[in-house]
Amino acid sequence: MKAGKDLSLYQFAIVTDVAAQKNFVQAASASANWPIGILQNKPNASGKAAEIAITGVCRIKLGAKMTSGSPVVANASGFGASLSGTGSNTAGRLLYGGSIGDVVPILLQANPPYGAAGISVAF
């Protein structure tokens, strides 16, 4: 995958696809964005290689205070935020809690949108 723009400030952010460009990613901008994974490097221009964790345990930068075990969605900057409401696409669950700006471990888990038919939103 390649960066769709300068992503040097988005290391450990949730990334999603760039609709108009195949094999390009951008920082997610809402909890409704379908997460591809977590950006691991700092590509500083469009077209640069974007290293993305897609499964297992990796690190995520928090954009909100969160507790251990919380399901994680993207905030407006692509950083980890708490699940709220329905129609959100989670990237995984936090293994440790933290505050805004902290980089903490996350267990990546592909999930359907919360609130979809047959999906429980209770934790």
Report the chain's mean pLDDT, rounded to a whole number. 87
CB atoms closer than 10 angstroms to residue 95: 14
pLDDT tens per residue across span 10-56: 999 999 998 888 899 999 998 888 899 999 999 999 999 999 999 99
On whether the CB atoms of residues 67 and 83 are closer than 8 A, the answer is no
Residue 77: is its pLDDT beyond 70? yes
What domain count does the chain have? 1
Residue 82: domain span? 56-108
Which strand (E) or helix (H) includes residue 112? none
> Has residue 40 been placed in a domain?
no
> Has residue 72 been placed in a domain?
yes
CA angle 74–111–53, rounded 5-degree value: 65
On whether the CB atoms of residues 68 and 29 are closer than 8 A, the answer is no
* Whole-prediction pTM: 0.86
> Has residue 42 been placed in a domain?
no
> Has residue 96 been placed in a domain?
yes
> Has residue 29 been placed in a domain?
no
